[in-house]
Amino acid sequence: MFNLILFGPPGSGKGTQSEKLIAKYGLKHLSTGDLLRSEIREQTPLGKEAQNFMDKGQLVPDEVVIGMISSALDNNPNAKGFLFDGFPRTAAQAEALDKLLELKEAPIAVMLALEVSEEELIKRLLKRGETSGRSDDTNESVIRARITEYHNKTAVVADYYKQFDKVEMVKGEGTIDEIFNRLCTEIDKRA
Ligand code: ADP
């Protein structure tokens, strides 16, 4: 099993690159953002709770997303590996994920961390908001709140994996294919 985390601030290109990576490496894509948006579409109790946080650009409580990931792992017993996108986003989520993967004897192989300037992030998110139908991308103050959450709670997740020497920084600016090739080079070193 090959498990990897694609990491980076909102708008860093995780969703775009995830699609290409799962196709190339045959991994199962687990995006907590996508899972939460699907719960909201179906108006489940979990979705309704999550929406209050997401609309404000705040993180959804840890126990909610950890439960969701735990079920997703159980629902995919035959996966060749998982690509985690948008998860873990807090130190508590990282510790919970390590425990879940320990049970499967399949630790995280590598965290690929996309680096993009703040100015470029805001530009990309506002542009995505024109077509994505995501209300959290149309309002600049919600975008800034998400970037603040990233700095306050999520950036530390990279430090968590650095202690195990599992982090590779990847330049997240350039063409989609240039960035994809940089990511593949790092994966191929470790796979
Ligand atoms: P982006 O990376 O562009 O912010 P996502 O689709 O990953 O987009 O996440 C959208 C929103 O969903 C976040 O702002 C947050 O409210 C919520 N969310 C997604 N993943 C998590 C997570 N692991 N922990 C807490 N909240 C999350």
**17 in ligand 1 pocket by Cβ < 6 Å?**
no
Mean pLDDT across 92-96: 98
Average pLDDT, the chain: 97
Q: Is the pLDDT of residue 55 over 90?
A: yes
- Global pTM reads 0.96
Minimum CA distance residue for ligand 1 atom 15? 59
Active site residues: 14, 89, 128, 134, 146
Pocket test for ligand 1, best of 12, 29, 31, 32 (most atoms within 8 A of CB): 32
Residue 121: what pLDDT? 97
Residue 26: what pLDDT? 98
- Kindly list the structural domains of the chain, giving each domain's residue range(s) and its CATH number in brackets, ordered by start: 3-27+79-190 (3.40.50.300)
Residue 79: what pLDDT? 96
**89 in ligand 1 pocket by Cβ < 6 Å?**
yes
Q: What percent of the chain has pLDDT over 70?
A: 100
Residue 191: what pLDDT? 82
Residue 182: what pLDDT? 98
| 99-133 pLDDT tens trace | 999 998 999 999 999 999 999 999 999 999 999 99
What confidence category does residue 181 fall into, taking pLDDT thresholds of 50, 70 and 90? very high
Residue 166: what pLDDT? 97
Q: How far is the CA of 125 from the centre of ligand 1 (A)?
A: 13
Residue 164: what pLDDT? 96
Q: Is the pLDDT of residue 98 over 90?
A: yes
Return the number of other C-beta atoms located less than 10 Å from residue 107's C-beta: 13
**166 in ligand 1 pocket by Cβ < 6 Å?**
no
